[in-house]
Amino acid sequence: MDIYLYDTKQRQKVKFEPSVPGRVGMYLCGPTVYSEAHLGHGKKEVAFDVIRRFLMHAGYAVRYVSNITDVGHLQGDADEGEDKIARRAALEKLEPMEVADKYFWSFVDDMGKLNVLRPSINPRATGHIPEQIELIEELIERGHAYEVNGSVYFDVRSWPRYGELTGRKLDEQEEGTREDVREEKRDPRDFALWKKAEPSHLMRWDSPWGVGFPGWHIECSAMSLKYLGEDFDIHGGGLDLQFPHHEAEIAQAEAAGHGFARYWMHNNMLTIGGEKMSKSKGNFTTLKELFERVDPMVVRFLLVSSHYRSVTEMNDEAFKSAASGYRRLTDALHEVERHLETAREGRDAVLEGKINANVRDFEAAMSDDFNTPEAVAALFNLTRDVNAALAGDVPKETLEKARAAYRELGGNVLGLFEDAGSERQDDSQLLNTLMDLVLEARQSYRLGKQFQKADELRAKLTEAGVTIEDTSTGTRWKR
Ligand SMILES: Nc1ncnc2c1ncn2[C@@H]1O[C@H](COP(=O)(O)OP(=O)(O)OP(=O)(O)O)[C@@H](O)[C@H]1O
Ligand SMILES: [Zn+2]
**Complete domains list, the chain, with CATH:** 4-267 (3.40.50.620), 287-413 (1.10.730.10), 423-478 (no CATH)
**What is the model's pLDDT at position 181?**
45
Residue 84 and residue 32 in contact, taking contact as beta carbons nearer than 8 Å:
yes
45 annotated as ligand-binding: no
**pLDDT at position 179 over 80:** no
**pLDDT at position 424 over 70:** no
**pLDDT at position 422 over 70:** no
Residue 403: other Cβ atoms inside 10 A: 17
Comparison of pLDDT for 71 and 222, the residue scoring more: 222
| Cα distance between residue 196 and residue 207, in whole Å | 10
CA of 161 to the centre of ligand 1 (A): 26
Q: What share of the chain is helix, strand, coil (3-state, %, to 5)?
A: 50, 15, 35
Q: Give the DSSP per-residue string, 380-413.
A: HHHHHHHHHHHTS---HHHHHHHHHHIIIIIIII
Which SS3 state, helix, strand or coil, does residue 212 take?
strand
pLDDT class of 173 with cuts at 50, 70, 90 = low
**What is the model's pLDDT at position 473?**
67
**pLDDT at position 176 over 50:** no
Instruction: Report the nearest atom of ligand 1 relative to the CA of 35.
Output: 17
Residue 378 and residue 13 in contact, taking contact as beta carbons nearer than 8 Å:
no
128 annotated as ligand-binding: no
Lowest-pLDDT range of 195-204, 327-336, 353-362: 195-204
The per-residue pLDDT of the chain, averaged, comes to 92
Instruction: Report the nearest atom of ligand 1 relative to the CA of 240.
Output: 31
Comparison of pLDDT for 437 and 379, the residue scoring more: 379
CA of 216 to the centre of ligand 2 (A): 8
Residues lining ligand 1, Cβ inside 6 A:
29, 31-32, 40-41, 43-44, 237-238, 240-241, 267, 269-270, 276-280
CA of 69 to the centre of ligand 1 (A): 13
Lowest-pLDDT range of 245-249, 354-358, 458-462: 458-462
Tally: H helices and E strands in the chain: 15, 15
**What is the model's pLDDT at position 87?**
87
279 annotated as ligand-binding: yes
CA of 235 to the centre of ligand 2 (A): 9
**What is the model's pLDDT at position 168?**
83
**pLDDT at position 201 over 90:** no
**What is the model's pLDDT at position 222?**
98
Ligand nearest to the CA of 65: 2
CA of 238 to the centre of ligand 1 (A): 7
Ligand nearest to the CA of 271: 1
pLDDT per position as a tens digit, 48-104 = 999 999 999 999 999 999 999 988 777 777 777 778 888 898 889 998 899 999 999
Instruction: Report the nearest atom of ligand 1 relative to the CA of 271.
Output: 1
- How big is the chain by its Cα radius of gyration, in Å? 26
CA of 278 to the centre of ligand 1 (A): 6
Over residues 305-324, the mean pLDDT reads 96
pLDDT class of 175 with cuts at 50, 70, 90 = very low
**pLDDT at position 167 over 60:** yes
CA of 119 to the centre of ligand 2 (A): 15
pLDDT class of 463 with cuts at 50, 70, 90 = confident
Percent of the chain with pLDDT over 90: 77
Which of 35, 44, 242, 286 best tests ligand 1's pocket when mutated (most atoms within 8 Å of CB)?
44
**What is the model's pLDDT at position 436?**
81
105: phi then psi, degrees, rounded to nearest 5: -65, -35
Lowest-pLDDT range of 210-214, 452-456, 468-472: 468-472
Ligand nearest to the CA of 265: 1
220 annotated as ligand-binding: yes
Over residues 445-467, the mean pLDDT reads 88
pLDDT per position as a tens digit, 252-278 = 999 999 999 999 999 999 999 999 999
**pLDDT at position 344 over 80:** yes
Residue nearest to atom 8 of ligand 1 (CA): 40
**What is the model's pLDDT at position 83?**
83
Ligand nearest to the CA of 238: 1
Residue nearest to atom 12 of ligand 1 (CA): 41
Instruction: Report the nearest atom of ligand 1 relative to the CA of 284.
Output: 21
**What is the model's pLDDT at position 170?**
63
Residue 330 and residue 417 in contact, taking contact as beta carbons nearer than 8 Å:
yes
